[in-house]
Each structure stands twice: as C-alpha cells, then as structure tokens.
Amino acid sequence: MQPFLAGLAFPESARWREGALWFSDFYTGRVQRVTPDGACETMLTLPDGEQPSGLGWLPDGRLLVVAMRQRKLLCFDGHRIDVYADLSRHAPAACNDMLVDGLGRAYVGNMGFDLPARAPFEPTVLLLVMPDGQIRVAADDMHFPNGTVLTPDGRTLIVGESYGQRLTAFDVGDDGSLRNRRIWAQLEGKGVGPDGICLDEEGAIWLASPVSREVLRVREGGEVTHRIATPEQAVACMLGGADRRTLYVLTGRVMVTPEQSRAALSGRISTVRVEVAGAGLP
C-alpha cells in the first residue's frame, strides 16, 4: 500500500464522486473531499460535536449525511444543513453507513446496541427512507448492518453484517422494498467482520475488516481472491481514480474517547492499485 493522506481522526464511509474521494472524519465532525493529487478540503462540519457517517446524494445533487448519535439523516445543499429524516424512533442505536440509490431512496444501517458502552449484542433493522420522507423497515434481524452496495442494474442490494460475519443480498423491488434475502458470502471462520465495502466490475466485493486489520476481495459464495494487511483497523474502502482501479483504504485506531482520537490523528488513507475497476455507480 502507498501512503495517500494522513492526519485524520477516524475516516469512514468512503465514496467516489466526480473525480474525487469523499469521506466522513467522524471524530472531527467533518465531511471531506480529496482529489487524486492529495488536495483535501472540508465540505461541511456538523455542529454540536455530531459525528457524520454514511454519505449519499439525491438526484438533484444535494448531499445526505447520517448524523450518528442524533440518529438523523441530514441534507446539505451547499449552503445550509437541514434535517431530512428523524430516524430516532426507528433506529435503536447509533446510525452508521448508508446507501442512496439513483431514485433518492436511502438505506440506513444502525449498530443495534450501545457498542461504545460494551452493551450486549442485539439484532436490529435496516431502514429505508423514501424521497417523500416516509421511513420504513427494509429488513429486520440484521446483525450490525454496515457497508452497503447496489449492483449497477439497481436490482440487488448487498449489505455487510459486521457481527454476522457475512454479506447478505436482497432483490430490490420497484418500490424499494427488499425481498429474497440470502447469504451472498459467509465469512465466519475467515476471521473477518465486514465494515465498509465496494463493488468491482466483475461483481466481486472489496471489504474492510477492522477485526483482522485487512481488506479482502470476495466473490459471491465466499471465495477470497485477495487479502491485503493494514497497519491499523481497516474501516472502509473505495475504488476510484481516473480508471477506477485505485483502491482507497481508510484506516484508524479506536481510542477511548473522541478527544483522544482528535489528539492522536492516527487515521489515514492509503492506496493500492488493483486489476479490476470499480463497478458503475448507482
């Protein structure tokens, strides 16, 4: 891996959009954008110490941001931040990653239990926020739904269940509902817990695994074709660059408090050149 960007608190939720990598540095409250030449800028900072996580864009270009602790979905039009949807009555714990499809439907995960307080594990729900603001339960009995991808045809949604040690697939209905739940890849026994994920042109998934400190490329059925070790916990990855063959790997170190993470600034982004390009974005 090659060093790319350092001095971050805890980078997460990587997205490739219009020639740049977007990500949340959630212990600083910032959503940032960095170009392949390393030029990094802060696009917005959430107020009151809120932590941004999942990112996505509506069809009109407005940015949606998951506010983790408030359990809200925020909307940024380039000038102001508004509440797009309040998820607090539906998500039992801090919200995390999100996918927004081409129609503006947002699939939002949550931890399900108070992980920082070391509460016992609890299964949870994957939420669907419709463009009209309606909130639905898209899937239940999810074991820490996290990174999510959509196939280029918009018909299959794949979710990384961190505590389930698996990638789970669903068929996507015309109304955004999820059906035909199935295991896309079972990772138990491989020492892997998926966090952020991305899809390549061959239909394989790159996933970041914090517990094993690596990124892996996995095919449907569970075959692992590549494993790349990381010096710290790998929390997200994204294929980008001009030819979409640069794998951006986001790593960080979990500290006791956000203040310690901001002081340490041990988060970083590294790059790896890969053979298969990223899949088309939804």
Q: DSSP string spanning 156-191?
A: EEEEEETTTTEEEEEEEPTTS-EEEEEEEEE-TTTT
Is 278 within a domain? no
∠ at Cα 144 (101, 69), nearest 5°?
A: 80
Q: Residues annotated as binding site?
A: 12, 96, 114, 146, 195
Q: Beta strand pairing status for 233-240 and 224-229?
A: unpaired
| Residue 129 belongs to some domain of the structure | yes
pLDDT in tens, 147-199: 999 999 999 999 999 999 999 999 999 999 999 999 999 997 778 999 999 99
Residue 132 lies in a domain: yes
Is 195 designated active site? yes
With respect to residue 248, please indicate whether it lies within any of the assigned structural domains. yes
pLDDT band at residue 282 using 50, 70 and 90 as cut-offs: very low
Q: Domain with 192 in it: what CATH number?
A: 2.120.10.30
Is residue 99's pLDDT more than 60? yes
17 lies in a domain?
Answer: yes
66 closest CA partner among 75, 163, 58: 75
Please state, in angstroms and rounded to a whole number, the distance separating the CA atoms of residues 230 and 251.
Answer: 8
Q: Is residue 98 part of a domain?
A: yes
Full residue range of the structural domain in which residue 205 is found: 2-273
3-27 per-position pLDDT tens digit: 999 999 999 999 999 999 999 998 9
User: pLDDT-based confidence at 42, cuts 50/70/90?
Assistant: very high
For residue 198, being part of any structural domain is answered with yes
Residue among 275, 278, 273 at smallest CA distance from 1: 273
Q: Assign residue 61 a region: left if phi > 0, alpha if psi is -120 to 50, beta otherwise?
A: left
Q: What are phi and psi of 190, to 5 degrees?
A: -100, 0
Residue 281 lies in a domain: no
Which residues define the annotated binding site for substrate?
Answer: 96, 114
Q: Which of 25, 82, 132, 195 is an active site residue? A: 195
Number of structural domains (the chain) is 1
Q: What is the pTM of this model?
A: 0.95
